[in-house]
Structure 1
């Protein structure tokens, strides 16, 4: 008696569904926001620095350069404070990652099916959420003192800050990975780059009265274009050439930051 053998046809495993980048970003962002929501006092503490600059440095600026600005000193200075808040917030994104290296949380995130870019974008956008809240408070506080709010320009300005913040946050993330065995280097590098970028952006004082070499150096500082764009947007000049240069600087920073950040992450995982 012969036995009929039916060959078994193996079906190829179904390819995993393409991951949704927006979904992954939302997951990472929600995870990062939970500690902030549990401790809302950290948001109030973050307001101290911008309010100190507005309350102490602003009057000095108005008194020393009031002739140059006229009644528009706050229109010039408030956007600078918003850029400064974004700069300090997103440039420290990597600091949270350093603590996750010690607890092993980062390694657990790396073995999840989340896309690598979402880990960078989600963390940077998490920093932007409290910064947006702080920006609204700053605008509300300064409006009675003569700050003229143009809602359309302000919305575009906050979106521009978010794009720039993604790139800067990705650079901060990459720096944290690079110095994870000597985490004190993170603050050395961050502070070394942070303050020259601020000064050479004309954020606190106009560079037009500075030496020629500073004016030339500012042309290579993407933050300078961002500051000029924010001032134009918050003045209601959405179609200004400065806005176009600001978007270009923000997009280049975001693209470069994500490229460096993802490559650094992949190499560290390997």
Structure 2
């Protein structure tokens, strides 16, 4: 009588990979996340049209200002708003994957948890770049002075902010545990006060004192202020440094919270 032996399954623990492997994994995750966008170009176009709707509705209401076009002040705010909206929506796709179970399969892959987050966050910078380019192409013929060096620095600042905002959105999706209503409830509750306190659409010069205090605590405020100066071709080192510091704070917080959420998932 022969006996057969059954080997016990080998359990492989998932650890963070070395630095070189981490960036390669992040790049692979980024490209994986970009492929659905390329297969559905209509969704990209729709997301890019939204900021143009804001421009079309608000531009006729902008007051005339001395020494230049009101678009010079308004356009950077719309660009920053589009970046913040896109970053805050990023977790919706992860929430769908959690519900479908595909995210669980990614967690047991050889990819590190950190690269799963960073790769997704890097992907969110691509729509932001496309939206910014489209907005500038549309408004430049309409009395908007294009200062390309300032725009490029401003876009780098927004990319930094977008990575951190997207990471926070992914952390919210993981914390929501597939409950879409919870994700959207928190996202909608947070994003609009953040945008209003940053003065993306309206100046805050005549705001009450308490509003000014909350605005000063908002990292996006410093990003928006720096964007307006950069888009106008003004190189104020203190303002630019404050803008990058605001983006860096959001990125550091987002990556710390997001990586912890992914590792506990």
Alignment correspondent of 1:165:
162
- What TM-score do you get using the length of structure 2 for normalisation? 0.89
Alignment correspondent of 1:261:
258
Alignment correspondent of 1:71:
68
CA contact (8 A) 1:98 1:180 kept: yes
Alignment correspondent of 1:26:
27
CA contact (8 A) 2:72 2:228 kept: yes
Where structure 2 has 5 or more consecutive residues not aligned to the other structure, the ranges are 1-15
Confirm or deny that 1:177 pairs with 2:178.
Answer: no
Q: What does 1:74-223 correspond to in 2, within 5 Å?
A: 74-223=71-220
CA contact (8 A) 2:114 2:262 kept: no
Q: Provide closer, same or farther for how the CA distance between residues 259 and 17 of structure 1 changes in structure 2, counting only shifts above 3 A.
A: closer
Task: Specify the structure having the higher radius of gyration (Cα).
Answer: 1
Alignment correspondent of 1:48:
49
Give the Cα separation in 1 of the matches to 2:127 and 2:133. Answer: 10
Q: Secondary structure at the match of 2:205?
A: helix
Alignment correspondent of 1:3:
none
| Pairs aligned (count) | 249
Give the Cα separation in 2 of the matches to 1:263 and 1:124. Answer: 15
Where structure 1 has 5 or more consecutive residues not aligned to the other structure, the ranges are 1-15
TM-aligned CA deviation for residue 136 of structure 1: 0.6
Q: Provide closer, same or farther for how the CA distance between residues 179 and 17 of structure 1 changes in structure 2, counting only shifts above 3 A.
A: closer
Q: Kindly provide the CA deviation profile for residues 142-185 of structure 1, in whole angstroms up to 9, marking residues without a partner as x.
A: 00111111111111111111111111111101100111242211
